[in-house]
Amino acid sequence: MSDSSTLSERAYRIRRYALRMGEVQGQGYIGQALGWADVLAVAYGHAMHYRPEDPQWESRDRFLLSHGHYAIAFYAALIEAGIIAEEELDTYGSDDSRLPMSGMATYTPGMEMSGGSLGQGLPIAVGMALGLRQKNNPAFVYNSMSDGELDEGSTWEAAMSASHHGLANLICLVDINNQQADGPSGKVLGFEPLADKWAAFGWHVQRVDGNDLQAVTRAFDTARALHERKPRVILFDTLMGKGVPFLEQREKNHFIRVDPPEWQQAIDFLDQSQTEGVAS
Amino acid sequence: MSATTEKKPRLTTSAMIASIASEGQRVKAAPFGKALVDLAAARPDIVGMTADLAKYTDLHLFAQAYPDRFFQMGMAEQVLVAAAGGMAKEGFVPFATTYAVFGTRRAFDFVHQVIAEENLNVKLCCALPGLTTGYGPSHQACEDLALMRSIPNMMVIDPCDALEIEQAVPAIAAHQGPVYMRLLRGQVPLVLDEYDYQFELGKAKLLRDGKDVLLISSGILTMRALEVAKSLDEIGVGAAVLHVPTLKPLDTQTIVREARREGRLVVVAENHSEIGGLGEAVATALLSEGVAPRFRRIALPDAFLDAGALPTLHDRYGISSAAITSSVKGWLD
């Protein structure tokens, strides 16, 4: 079995866990979870160093979920990584659960920051990257963020800071799905030309299809192997709802409410396409 | 021209920027910077971070002594605060400095979410607290204590003088968790050495006793309260001064014990807006304990304050020694 087919199974399971958590609440940021699953599969299944039994292992690569509302996707990745147990999935968003609807470091093992107030992940990542370098710890800091966070000034303050300090141990992952709370990103606050902006801020930039596992894998490998004393950003163009056609096509898919029978339909679809994909 | 109509020399804002010390007052230079350098020798985990204000927060001394442990974050307070949080996550104890308006007002959500919610070990030390600059509301941090007190996990310190800052630096470094400390920088007055004083986190200290008035104060208003107590002495009024450098957690026990003593007027004096600072904290503590003495307050008004020379402004807003003395006398009559 090739690495990419393993990763495709990982991505499939991440999507499936996310859908099952969505079903617990009847709603959620499912579109983002389906769209970001491939990047998470590569991060936790290929790129990152970590020990599932010891989420605080000093040499681990740090993964900051700046966009706390992607928690449903991230918990799915943590289950796939073996850091939290699959059984906990049923508690998602429930009272006294370790899996609140917005991601918080104080609740969940493997969660490195309390996200949700957008535009804070990258500045924290700058501090952690400086700290790791100070300790001669070769770990990477990955900051996972949404394109909506590009509206926040603090993101660009941090981008400037990271290149000023030559943070080669910082890799920023941006999900460009072009959907924000109030509508398409281009209408909320246009951020293109994005690659040019990051490059102008002194970053090594790649822009790839975030739902093409091979391209995603290559981009992670390139970002890690680079010798330049620069922070690295990977801009991932993703499709909201990826893998479940009726969710891909839903017009308002920033925060999805799904009718009860549709959850099973979505899971059935995923299962079916995965079976076909593996067989082919 | 008669003496009464003679014009006073016109004071300027710029003459007063460097120091809050009054003429002839004993001072020590850069107590924060020196104390941090001293402490850092034994504490390799301490790092210094600033937002383009190292020279103006005395952190430049640390930067000179430990260049490899000093991080210039540029004029970006949100990044300063969040990156300090990131440093703390990696096991360092960052002392992050800027002006109080920027560290509290501007970066509030970052202090709240990045640092306090995870109880991170960041020491946010901010210069120009309250009315200690004549630059107007852009630089006057009259709400900093209210903002920082309202954040869970946050310890809040308002030191009085150079001695207290020297003592507070190792104390807050030893404390596990986030701390907001108001910073006096440059030529800082020295007064508490006359009172055999030792700073303790979370403790209020009775600096002098008196039977008629209890002055409860923090920060530079304790320096003023001590001057006021001396001048009240001269007219036969006995004034006690209870210094409360830690606003949170508040030493309710000591405050209640002193305020419970019969027959004293209780006056709370603070270099902060009348909303959300020491006065409200003390009033709440007293009423919660069933103690209701005669109670008055000295505080900055709920207003955008004027620009100008500090001595003028301290008089105008009632926090100069003369103004406080006059207020207290009026309340005693």
Q: Where are the beta strands (DSSP E) in A199-250?
A: 204-209, 232-237
- Within 13 Å of residue A35, how many CA atoms lie on the same side as its CB? 26
Query: Once rounded to an integer, what is the mean pLDDT over residues A217-230?
Result: 98
Q: Which of B69, B86, B109 faces A127 most closely, judged by CB atoms?
A: B86
The answer to whether B89 contacts A112, with C-beta atoms less than 8 Å apart, is yes
Cα-flanking dihedrals φ and ψ of residue A43, to 5°? -60, -55
Query: Once rounded to an integer, what is the mean pLDDT over residues B120-149?
Result: 96
Q: CA A40 to CA A210: how far, in whole Å?
A: 10
Distance from the Cα of residue B195 to its chain's centroid: 18
Residues from chain A contacting residue B87 (CB–CB below 8 Å): 127-128, 130-131
In the 8-state DSSP scheme, what is residue A231?
A: -
Q: CA A6 to CA B10: how far, in whole Å?
A: 79
Instruction: Give me the percent of chain A exceeding a pLDDT of 70.
Output: 96
* Domain of residue A28, CATH code: 3.40.50.970
**Peptide bond connecting B159 to the previous residue in cis, omega within 30 degrees of 0:** no
CA distance A64 to chain B (A): 11
Of A172, A127, A125, A128, which Cα lies nearest the Cα of A150?
Answer: A172
User: Does residue B3 have a pLDDT over 80?
Assistant: no
Query: Once rounded to an integer, what is the mean pLDDT over residues A140-162?
Result: 97
Q: CA A210 to CA A197: how far, in whole Å?
A: 19
User: Does residue B6 have a pLDDT over 90?
Assistant: no
When mean pLDDT is compared across A123-132, A268-277, B137-146, the lowest value belongs to A268-277
Instruction: Give yes or no for B113 touching A (CB within 8 A).
Output: yes
Say what the ipTM of the complex is: 0.92
Selected for mutation to probe chain A from B68, B72, B89, B121 (highest A CB count within 10 Å) is B89
**pLDDT tens-digit series, residues B41-55:** 999 999 999 999 999
What is the distance in angstroms between the CA of the first residue and the CA of the last residue of chain B?
Answer: 35
Report how far apart, in Å, the C-alpha atoms of A66 and of each of A179, B113, B230 are: 17, 12, 55
Q: What's the predicted TM-score (pTM) here?
A: 0.94
Q: CA B70 to CA B62: how far, in whole Å?
A: 7
Q: Where are the beta strands (DSSP E) in A147-263?
A: 170-176, 179-180, 183-184, 204-209, 232-237, 256-257
Residue of A nearest to B90 (CA): A131
- Within 13 Å of residue B84, how many CA atoms lie on the same side as its CB? 38
User: Does residue A1 have a pLDDT over 50?
Assistant: no
User: Does residue B4 have a pLDDT over 80?
Assistant: no
Q: What one-letter code names the amino acid at B304? A: F
Mean pLDDT of chain B: 95
The answer to whether B83 contacts A116, with C-beta atoms less than 8 Å apart, is no
The answer to whether A124 contacts B74, with C-beta atoms less than 8 Å apart, is no
The answer to whether A106 contacts B117, with C-beta atoms less than 8 Å apart, is yes
User: Does residue A256 have a pLDDT over 80?
Assistant: no
**pLDDT tens-digit series, residues A164-175:** 999 999 999 999
Instruction: Give yes or no for B299 touching A (CB within 8 A).
Output: no
**pLDDT tens-digit series, residues B261-303:** 999 999 999 999 999 999 999 999 999 999 999 999 999 999 9
The answer to whether B90 contacts A113, with C-beta atoms less than 8 Å apart, is no
Query: Coil, strand or helix: which one is B196?
Result: coil
* Model confidence band, residue A280 (pLDDT cutoffs 50, 70, 90): very low
User: Does residue A248 have a pLDDT over 90?
Assistant: no
Q: What domains does chain B contain, in order, with CATH numbers?
A: 27-189 (3.40.50.970), 202-332 (3.40.50.920)
Overall residue count recorded for chain B in this entry: 333
Number of domains into which chain A is organized: 1
Q: CA A145 to CA A175: how far, in whole Å?
A: 6
**Peptide bond connecting A260 to the previous residue in cis, omega within 30 degrees of 0:** no
pLDDT of residue B65: 98
Instruction: Give yes or no for B244 touching A (CB within 8 A).
Output: no
The answer to whether A124 contacts B82, with C-beta atoms less than 8 Å apart, is yes
pLDDT of residue A249: 80
Q: Give the pairing of strands B27-29 and B187-189.
A: antiparallel
**pLDDT tens-digit series, residues A28-48:** 889 999 999 999 999 999 999
Q: What are the residues facing B273 on neighbouring strands?
A: B300
Instruction: Give me the percent of chain B exceeding a pLDDT of 90.
Output: 92
Chain A / chain B CB contacts < 8 angstroms? 98
Contact A127, B89 (CB under 8 A): yes
User: Does residue A188 have a pLDDT over 90?
Assistant: yes
CA distance B141 to chain A (A): 22
Q: CA B167 to CA B274: how far, in whole Å?
A: 28
Residue of B nearest to A131 (CA): B87
Of A95, A104, A73, which Cα lies nearest the Cα of A11?
Answer: A73
Distance from the Cα of residue A218 to its chain's centroid: 17
> Which residues constitute the domain of residue A188?
4-279
The answer to whether B71 contacts A130, with C-beta atoms less than 8 Å apart, is yes
Helices H / strands E in chain A, number of each: 10, 9
**pLDDT tens-digit series, residues B62-83:** 999 999 999 999 999 999 999 9
Q: CA A103 to CA A70: how far, in whole Å?
A: 7
Q: Which of B81, B86, B118 faces A131 most closely, judged by CB atoms?
A: B86
Residues from chain A contacting residue B68 (CB–CB below 8 Å): 134
Query: Coil, strand or helix: which one is A43?
Result: helix
The secondary structure of B111-159, three-state, reads HHHHHHCCCCCCEEEEECEECCCCCCCCCCECCHHHHHHCCCCCEEECC
Of A65, A203, A58, A68, which Cα lies nearest the Cα of A131?
Answer: A58
- Within 13 Å of residue B161, how many CA atoms lie on the same side as its CB? 24
User: Does residue A250 have a pLDDT over 70?
Assistant: yes
Overall residue count recorded for chain A in this entry: 280
Q: CA A234 to CA A174: how far, in whole Å?
A: 6
CA distance B124 to chain A (A): 15
Of B109, B189, B207, which Cα lies nearest the Cα of A123?
Answer: B109
Mean pLDDT of chain A: 93
Q: What H or E segment, with its residue span, contains residue B266?
A: strand B265-273
The answer to whether A127 contacts B76, with C-beta atoms less than 8 Å apart, is no
Give residue for tokens 């990419």: A4
User: Does residue A98 have a pLDDT over 50?
Assistant: yes
pLDDT of residue A2: 45
Which two tokens mark B28?
């020590």
Q: CA A148 to CA A145: how far, in whole Å?
A: 8
**How many C-beta neighbours within 10 Å does residue B260 have?**
14
Residues from chain A contacting residue B85 (CB–CB below 8 Å): 124, 127
Q: CA B13 to CA B11: how far, in whole Å?
A: 7
Residue of A nearest to B109 (CA): A117
User: Does residue A80 have a pLDDT over 90?
Assistant: yes
The answer to whether A131 contacts B74, with C-beta atoms less than 8 Å apart, is no
Residues from chain B contacting residue A106 (CB–CB below 8 Å): 117-118
Cα-flanking dihedrals φ and ψ of residue A143, to 5°? -110, 115
* Model confidence band, residue B20 (pLDDT cutoffs 50, 70, 90): confident
